[in-house]
Amino acid sequence: MSYLNITEVESAVTSLATAFPGTSELIDLPEPSVEERACHALRIGAAPSGTNDCAVLIGGVHAREWGSCEILIHLVADLLEAYDAGTGLGYGGTTFTADDVRKILRELDLVVFPLVNPDGRRYSQTVEPLWRKNRNPARSGGDPERIGVDINRNYDFLFDFATAFHPTAAPRVSTDPGDIVYQGPEPFSEPETRNVRWLFDTWPRTRWFVDVHSYSEDMLTVWGDDENQSDDGLQNFLNPDFDHLRGLGADVYGEFLAKSDADDSTVLAERFCAAVHGVRGRTYRAMSGYQLYPTSGTSDDYAYSRHIVDRRKGKILGFTVEWGDEAGGFHPPWAEMKRIVRDVDAGLVQFCLAALA
């Protein structure tokens, strides 16, 4: 076996829904990709949809990060098969009991969208292996190198980064279509990001969100625009008084994160990392997105910011997994990728249990 192509990813998702009709359902996403490919997610859970709080997991956002799809598909298959058989799960030195599996399936709505960016993945696997963006040609001017939008810069969080950030902050985002971190013309300009937003809106009891990426062996929490602080609520992304100040560490500005949310996020991230380490000794770091590098328009920050922008929306704790390391790059040899799948799936199972604790 090797990395799945987009047809095989789609087949895996639909096959799981067919094989486990009592504990899974196929979700038709409302918008096809730019190249008109239908997109699907899975909801797994033993209770009727909407009964329990929900965790949304997505992957395959950046086209070149091939293993993210496999991580999520194997996670769903492992949980469904173990629940059906009444068994636990073992990932190297990290194990879970049958009661653990039952708890996740009976007390959680788990919505998994393994391949957000099918067009980009196909192009990466057949033409240009390091392609990152989607395949939207609208602003390319006919230049093939200027095709596409970075989906993970297209969410509605500090989208006007030139105003939000300090002039020297240099966040990893761009208004240039030729840049790999091109944000697009406006928030949610891309069908792929609108599909993720639709999942949040359709499952209003979503309380946790994880976006699976590579690489750097991290479990990232919010925020990505600046260092976190829990003392001054006026220092927040909605306050224009702090425009042109964000993005520099150890200065006058820090992005407000309520202490309870900061503590809960840290616990969940650390439980994830501990479970990963238990598999075969890999050490993932729990830290904020900003500690990796400053960003705006990312999925995890958008997910958490929703309840601040609109108090009618539920609070979602947002996270980003960065699996793998520089040695393996975006396409580790398949033998190593299989080990990474086990690492991260152990972390995600533990994450779900910790969320329900």
Closest to 40 in 3D by CA, of 18, 65, 22, 62: 18
Burial class (CB in 10 A: 0-12, 13-18, 19+), 59: buried
> pTM surpassing 0.85?
yes
The predicted structure's pLDDT at residue 300: 98
Tally of domains in the chain:
1
What is the SS3 assignment for 15?
Answer: helix
Residue 110 has pLDDT above 90, yes or no: yes
The predicted structure's pLDDT at residue 250: 86
Q: What does the block give as tokens for 172?
A: 């990893």
Answer whether residue 1 is part of any domain. Answer: no
Answer whether residue 66 is part of any domain. Answer: yes
Q: Which H or E run contains 260?
A: helix 259-280
- Do residues 232 and 256 touch, judged by C-beta distance below 8 A? yes
Answer whether residue 250 is part of any domain. Answer: yes
Residue 328 has pLDDT above 70, yes or no: yes
What is the SS3 assignment for 174?
Answer: strand
The predicted structure's pLDDT at residue 1: 66
Q: CATH number for the domain including 345?
A: 3.40.630.10
User: In the predicted model, what is the mean pLDDT of residues 192-221?
Assistant: 98
Residue 58 has pLDDT above 90, yes or no: yes
Residue 174 has pLDDT above 70, yes or no: yes
As a residue count, the chain comes to 357
Closest to 339 in 3D by CA, of 94, 91, 65: 91
Pairing of strands 317-323, 218-221: antiparallel
User: CB count, 10 Å around CB of 47?
Assistant: 13
> Can you tell me the distance from the alpha carbon of 84 to that of 18, in angstroms, rounded to the nearest whole number?
14
Residue 64 has pLDDT above 90, yes or no: yes
> Band of the pLDDT at 249, cuts 50, 70, 90?
confident
What's the mean pLDDT when you consider all of the chain?
97
Domain of residue 238, residue span: 6-356
Answer whether residue 155 is part of any domain. Answer: yes
User: In the predicted model, what is the mean pLDDT of residues 60-85?
Assistant: 98
